[in-house]
Amino acid sequence: MYNYPYHNVSQMHVFPTPNYPMIQSTYPQGIPSFHPNYHWYSYPTYRQYPDVDPTLFNESAIEMQKLMNDASIVLKRIAESKDFAKKVMSAAQESHLQEVDRLIQSTGIKSKVETSFNPDGINMTFKSKVGQTDCCKLTVALLWRG
C-alpha cells in the first residue's frame, strides 16, 4: 500500500472540473482522477419523470398468465401421457413441424405456439398480443435426450 504524505486536512486541495462542481482530494493537483483513493463529491441532481401509465404493463401480465396456463396444459399432457410424448418426439424426429404444432394445439390451448426442435430437445414459444402490440412471450425448453 502506498502511503501518501498529505493526510492532514490543512493540506487538502480543492479545485473545479468541467463535469463536477467541486472535487476535494487529499492529493495535490496533478494526481490523476482515476487514483483509487481519489474522493469525489457531487451534488444531488433532481429529475422530473413523466407520469407512468401501467395499463399495458397490467394487460401484459394478464396475457402472460394465460400463456403460463396454456404452457402448463401442454406440460401436464406431456408428463401424464407417454404416448402423447412419443408422438411429439417421433414427429419432430421426422421433421414434421406441422404435425408437432397440431399435436401441441390438440391439447386445447388457445395461445399461438411456435416450436423448434433439435436432437436434444424441443422449444415451445407461446406468444400473445394486447391489441396489435406483441406484449409477451414465454419459451419452454424441454430436453428429451442428454
Residues 7, 28, single domain; the answer is yes
Model pLDDT for residues 47-67, shown as the tens digit of each residue: 888 899 899 999 999 999 999
Confidence at residue 48, expressed as pLDDT on a 0 to 100 scale: 85
* Same domain for 126 and 62: yes
49 assigned to some structural domain: no
Instruction: Give the tens place of pLDDT for each residue, 113-140.
Output: 999 999 899 999 999 999 898 999 999 9
Clarify whether residues 85 and 126 are in a common domain. Answer: yes
Please state the rounded mean pLDDT for residues 30-59: 70
Q: Is 63 found in the same domain as 135?
A: yes
Query: Are residue 59 and residue 31 in the same domain, yes or no?
Result: no
Query: Domain range for residue 33?
Result: 1-44
Asked whether residue 125 falls in the same domain as residue 86, the answer is yes
**Residue 38 or 62, more confident:** 62
Q: Of 142, 129, 68, 78, which Cα lies nearest the Cα of 107?
A: 78
Non-local CB neighbours of 97 within 8 Å, separated by 6+ positions: 115
Q: Are 106 and 32 in contact (CB under 8 A)?
A: no
* Residue 98 in domain: yes
> Residue 9: which of 20, 23, 21, 25 has the closest Cα?
25
Q: What is the pLDDT of residues 80-101, one digit of tens each?
A: 999 999 999 999 999 999 999 9
Count of domains in the chain? 2
Taking the alpha carbons of 64, 143, 86, 113 in that order, is the dihedral positive or negative?
positive
Task: Using pLDDT thresholds of 50, 70 and 90, give the confidence band for residue 45.
Answer: low
As to burial, measured by CB atoms within 10 angstroms (0-12 exposed, 13-18 middle, 19+ buried), residue 15 is exposed
pLDDT value at position 29?
Answer: 56
Q: What is the pTM of this model?
A: 0.65
Q: Give the pLDDT of residue 82.
A: 96
| Residue 39 placed within a domain | yes
**Does residue 19 sit in the same domain as residue 87?**
no
Regarding whether 39 and 67 lie in a shared domain, the answer is no
The neighbouring-strand residues paired with 139 are 125
Tell me the H-state helices in 44-96: 55-80, 82-93
Q: If you average pLDDT over every residue of the chain, what do you get?
A: 81
* Main-chain dihedrals φ then ψ at residue 115, nearest 5 degrees: -115, 150
CB contact at 8 A, 97 and 89: no
Domain-embedded: residue 80: yes
Is position 85 within any domain?
Answer: yes
pLDDT of residue 61: 95
Residues 137 and 94 reside in one and the same domain: yes
Query: pLDDT at position 40, please?
Result: 54
Distance CA 25, CA 41 (A): 9
β-sheet bridge partners, residue 116: 123
Count how many residues are written for the chain. Answer: 146
